[in-house]
Amino acid sequence: MTCTAEGGPSLTQTSTKTVKLSSGTGGGGEPNNFLGSERCGGMWDNGLWNDNYCEGSNKVICSDVQGQNVSFIFINQSMTWTKAQSFCREHHTDLPSVRTSTENEQIKGLMQSLDVVQVWIGLYRLSWTWVDGSHFNFYYWKTSQPNGSEENCAAAALEEGGKWEDWHCSFKMPFFCYDVPVSKQVVKVKLVKTSSVDLNDPAVLEDLLKQFEQKLKDNSVDGDIKLSWRDQ
Ligand SMILES: [Ca+2]
Ligand SMILES: [Ca+2]
């Protein structure tokens, strides 16, 4: 059982844009996803960003968006990233998506004028994702996992009842694959010729298959349908 983590060195803003974080703050080498558990973004008073533990407490900058204009409001209360987002959405627009270096400078200037060291901004890292893109609320991590800042692939530990661990993706281990069962059906079709088309012409037969496929899709037949001719 494997799945991959989105992200690596980038976080997603509360808007849909993906941006690269500035690196090299006083803590060094951010984002570092310390202990594999830093999914929420904050800003230091030097304007650089840091991925941080979402349940940690930080003061907050909210954004107020009026048309093309955005202003930033400092909230002098410490709270988790999720509470900060709810607060901003209730009282202002949202946690700020920093769209330009000018906006970054505005927030930095506000923090410096108020002597605030770190605030939450609207950055967050997407959570673990299945390779087929499906989403479930089911998680089966072993205690203390996931715990790796660079462990972006998951394995099932069979000696632990199949519970999950995150591993470095370059590590070699046995794996499972899965197949989706394919059902085949043969349908006899009687073609009645009403025009001069040549029913032995491969292009004509191909075109007919496409029309049949479209008809099945129009009638909401599910699945990946592949049609082919079989001579009798
Ligand atoms: Ca960090
Ligand atoms: Ca691990």
Q: What's the pTM value of the predicted model, to 2 decimals?
A: 0.56
- What local confidence, expressed as pLDDT, does residue 217 receive? 83
For residue 149, the CA-to-ligand 1 centroid distance in Å is 10
- Closest by CA position to 84, among listed 125, 40, 45, 126: 40
- What local confidence, expressed as pLDDT, does residue 42 receive? 97
Q: How many residues does the chain have?
A: 232
- Tell me phi and psi for residue 66, to 5 degrees: -125, 100
- What local confidence, expressed as pLDDT, does residue 126 receive? 76
pLDDT band at 6 (very low <50, low <70, confident <90, very high): very low
Give per-residue pLDDT as tens, 205-226.
Answer: 888 888 888 888 888 777 777 8
- What local confidence, expressed as pLDDT, does residue 49 receive? 96
What angle (nearest 5°) sits at the alpha carbon of residue 9, between those of residues 83 and 163? 75
pLDDT band at 23 (very low <50, low <70, confident <90, very high): very low
For residue 118, the CA-to-ligand 1 centroid distance in Å is 12
For residue 35, the CA-to-ligand 2 centroid distance in Å is 9
In the structure, ligand 1 is a single-atom ion and the residues with CB under 5 Å from it are 30, 32, 38, 50-51
CB atoms within 10 A of CB 61: 26
Domain ranges of the chain: 1-178, 182-232
For residue 202, the CA-to-ligand 2 centroid distance in Å is 56
CA dihedral for 60, 65, 68, 69, sign (positive or negative): negative
Least confident of 82-86, 144-148, 184-188, 222-226: 222-226
Q: Tell me what the pLDDT averaged over the chain comes to.
A: 84
Least confident of 33-47, 71-85, 107-121: 33-47
Give per-residue pLDDT as tens, 123-160.
Answer: 998 778 889 888 887 889 998 888 877 788 999 998 88
- What local confidence, expressed as pLDDT, does residue 56 receive? 94
- What local confidence, expressed as pLDDT, does residue 4 receive? 39
Residue 211 three-state SS: helix
